[in-house]
């Protein structure tokens, strides 16, 4: 017999861990931005190139609520899982943990060069070590892993749609950044691209 959405087995560790992952992901990035601001470095450049990026935060807040509602059995659109699986939530938990770990490693690897968005006025060193030695975009890979993990934990159709939309938005941002990096670092970046893949 299929499990009901609010049954005890659905309110297990994977759901709480998935929501905690979202909180830690946001807190980690926000803390890094605040710490860098205290060091005199403006790390937040979101929406500087395309003002339409400011349409993203309301959708992100809705995503956060959907995950919150699914975790604590509150009313939400699309809360009913697409299918029932005992294994999928645990795979999702592993993806969330892997994504969060990769995010932390990437932020450490980035050092003082970390930016949210493209800083065209104060470019820093091209980072090619640490997490960036095996992926040119480890932070975006981490975000994608977390989003896929969230879907597998909650199995919500809305979260699946968000995965598709997020992958498109992340890829669009990566193409923007690559264009900027080619112009800024020239042959150094071209050589880096030959050695390291865009994703994994």
Looking up residue 178, the CATH number of its domain turns out to be 1.20.120.1630
Q: How far apart are alpha carbons 178 and 126 in whole angstroms?
A: 12
Residues 6+ positions from 156 with CB-CB distance below 8 Å: 66, 70, 78, 79, 80, 81, 82
| pLDDT interval class at 187 (50, 70, 90) | very high
Residue 83 lies in a domain: yes
Q: What would the mean pLDDT of 135-153 be, rounded to a whole number?
A: 97
Assess whether pLDDT exceeds 90 at residue 88: yes
Query: What is the predicted pLDDT for the residue at 107?
Result: 94
Tokens 């959405």, residue located: 5
Residue 116 lies in a domain: yes
Residue 6 lies in a domain: no
pLDDT-above-70 percentage for the chain: 91
Residue 179 lies in a domain: yes
Alpha carbon separation from 109 to 12, 24, 125, 139, 149 (Å, rounded): 34, 18, 12, 10, 23
Residues 6+ positions from 112 with CB-CB distance below 8 Å: 36, 39, 41, 124
Tokens 């980035």, residue located: 110
Apex 76 CA angle, 99 and 5, nearest 5: 75
Structural domain boundaries, residue 113: 13-195
Q: How far apart are alpha carbons 52 and 118 in whole angstroms?
A: 15
Residue 132 lies in a domain: yes
Domain total of the chain: 1
Residue 3 lies in a domain: no
Mean pLDDT across the chain, nearest whole number? 88
Assess whether pLDDT exceeds 70 at residue 157: yes
Residue 106 lies in a domain: yes
Query: What is the predicted pLDDT for the residue at 50?
Result: 67
| pLDDT interval class at 57 (50, 70, 90) | confident
Residue 8 lies in a domain: no
For residues 200 and 141, the answer to whether their CB atoms sit within 8 Å is yes
């Amino acid at each position: 017999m299929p499990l009901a959405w609010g049954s005890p087995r659905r309110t297990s560790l994977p759901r709480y861990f998935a929501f905690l992952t979202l909180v830690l992901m946001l807190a980690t990035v926000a803390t890094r931005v605040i710490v860098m601001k205290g060091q005199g470095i403006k790390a937040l450049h979101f929406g500087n190139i395309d003002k339409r990026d400011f349409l993203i935060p309301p959708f992100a807040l809705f995503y956060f609520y959907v995950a919150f509602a699914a975790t604590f059995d509150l009313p939400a659109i699309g809360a009913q899982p697409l299918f029932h699986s005992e294994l999928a939530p645990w795979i999702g938990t592993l993806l969330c943990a892997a994504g969060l770990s990769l995010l932390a490693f990437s932020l450490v690897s980035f050092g003082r060069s970390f930016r949210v968005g493209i800083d065209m006025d104060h470019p820093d060193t091209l980072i090619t070590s640490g997490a960036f030695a095996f992926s040119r975009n480890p932070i975006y890979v981490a975000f994608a892993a977390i989003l896929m993990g969230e879907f597998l934990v909650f199995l919500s159709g809305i979260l699946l749609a968000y995965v598709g939309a997020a992958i498109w938005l992340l890829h669009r941002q990566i193409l923007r950044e690559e264009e900027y990096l080619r112009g800024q670092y020239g042959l150094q970046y071209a050589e880096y691209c030959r050695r390291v893949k865009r994703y994994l």
